[in-house]
Amino acid sequence: MEPAHEDLTARARIRDAALRLFAERGTEGATIRDIAKAAGVSAGLVRHHFGSKEALRDACDSYALDRAMRIKEQAILEGQATSPGFMAANHPTVLLLYRYFARVLLDGSQPAAAMFDQMVDLTEQWLDQHGPHVSDDPRGYSAVLVGMQIGVLTMQEHVSRALGVDILSAEGHARLVRALVDFYSQPLLSPELAAQAHAAYAQVQSPQPAEGARQ
């Protein structure tokens, strides 16, 4: 559970306020003054702790990734996914992180590219430790998986319309997660068809002989 607002250090309050505002408005739409007001501190204190809005965004990126990975570890590795209390307690944080990722990963910035790459790195490390036999191309698997997960968030408007409920609301997120559980737990291809597809695309990827070599 997150500590109460008054129990947080000034640095943590500033970071949390920035994360919420960046999720709502994007990094360009939230000023240092806005963040300071939301955190209940002066703009000078924000600059004292972080130096610049860019550095504050870096701190938010790092915190968001760390927090998301920790919740994932608790849910999957520590078996908390079956605990209603755990899910309820972390649900607001998860929704905030989703909003943040959906907003900042689309701003076309270098930090957005770096965050996506780090997500792929973390996913690849996770596979190496917990699912080493999932794919013979773990980098490709990881990049596509992250892209699919983030794609659902960035297509929030359309997915929400199709479901008839906002996927970043409590009700909509619950429905989204149940659909994702079905998606990840039920193979769409038979082992035979998957093997045939792998073989076909292995031929596509293999170097083709030059025209002269075919004669």
Tell me if 25 is assigned to some domain: yes
Output the domain CATH number for residue 25.
1.10.357.10
Tell me if 139 is assigned to some domain: no
Tell me if 211 is assigned to some domain: no
Tell me if 60 is assigned to some domain: yes
Look at residues 34, 41, 32, 33 and name the one whose alpha carbon lies nearest to residue 13.
Answer: 41
pLDDT of residue 211: 59
pLDDT of residue 212: 56
pLDDT digits (tens, 9 = 90+) for 25-73: 999 999 999 999 999 999 999 999 999 999 999 999 999 999 999 999 9
Tell me if 105 is assigned to some domain: no
Look at residues 18, 41, 13 and name the one whose alpha carbon lies nearest to residue 30.
Answer: 18
pLDDT of 158 strictly over 60: yes
Distance (Å, whole) CA 145 – CA 129: 16
Tell me if 61 is assigned to some domain: yes
- Domain that residue 50 falls in: 1-83
pLDDT of residue 154: 87
Tell me if 160 is assigned to some domain: no
Tell me if 208 is assigned to some domain: no
Write out the DSSP string of the chain: -PPPGGGS-HHHHHHHHHHHHHHHH-TTT--HHHHHHHHTS-HHHHHHHHSSHHHHHHHHHHHHHHHHHHHHIIIIISSGGG-HHHHHHHHHHHHHHHHHHHHHTTS--HHHHHHHHHHHHHHHHHHHHH-TTS-S-HHHHHHHHHHHHHHHHHTHHHHHHHHTS-TTSHHHHHHHHHHHHHHHHS-SS-HHHHHHHHHHHHHHHSPPPPHHHH-
Residue that is written with structure tokens 């998986």 in the block: 145
Mean pLDDT of all residues belonging to the chain: 89
Domain count, the chain: 1
pLDDT of residue 1: 39
Distance (Å, whole) CA 101 – CA 88: 21
pLDDT digits (tens, 9 = 90+) for 112-131: 999 999 999 999 999 999 88
